[in-house]
Amino acid sequence: MAAWYLGDQQIGSGFSITLDTGEGTLFDSPQSYLLTFEIIFLDGGSPILTSTDQARLALARRNISEPAILLIFVASILGLGYLRWRRWWA
């Protein structure tokens, strides 16, 4: 059994975790968070070994200007169009 904790609150289980960020979530502000990963090894339902590790999650707010977003979008569309054109004529 594996679980992820933020303070005393369990925020996930398993060996990987997907987190939502932004307003209205646990991670709503850019700062550093300390996450605890706990693994409990069971033998017939009884815990025989517990392993705990911690990870620091640092969130930063980055503002991307609108022209940069538009440039990335246009470059993506042109790249997809080029790939489609190459397949058509190949």
Q: What is the Cα–Cα distance from 59 to 40, expressed in whole angstroms?
A: 28
Q: Based on the number of CB atoms within 10 Å of its own CB, is 62 exposed (0-12), middle (13-18) or buried (19 or more)? A: exposed
- The tens digit of pLDDT for each residue in 31-80 reads 898 889 888 888 888 888 988 888 888 888 777 677 878 888 899 999 99
Select the more confidently predicted residue: 63 or 15: 15
Whether residue 90 is predicted with pLDDT greater than 70 in this model: the reply is no
- Measured in whole angstroms, the distance separating CA 39 from the mean position of its chain's CA atoms is 20
- The tens digit of pLDDT for each residue in 21-31 reads 878 888 888 88
| Whole-structure pTM value | 0.54
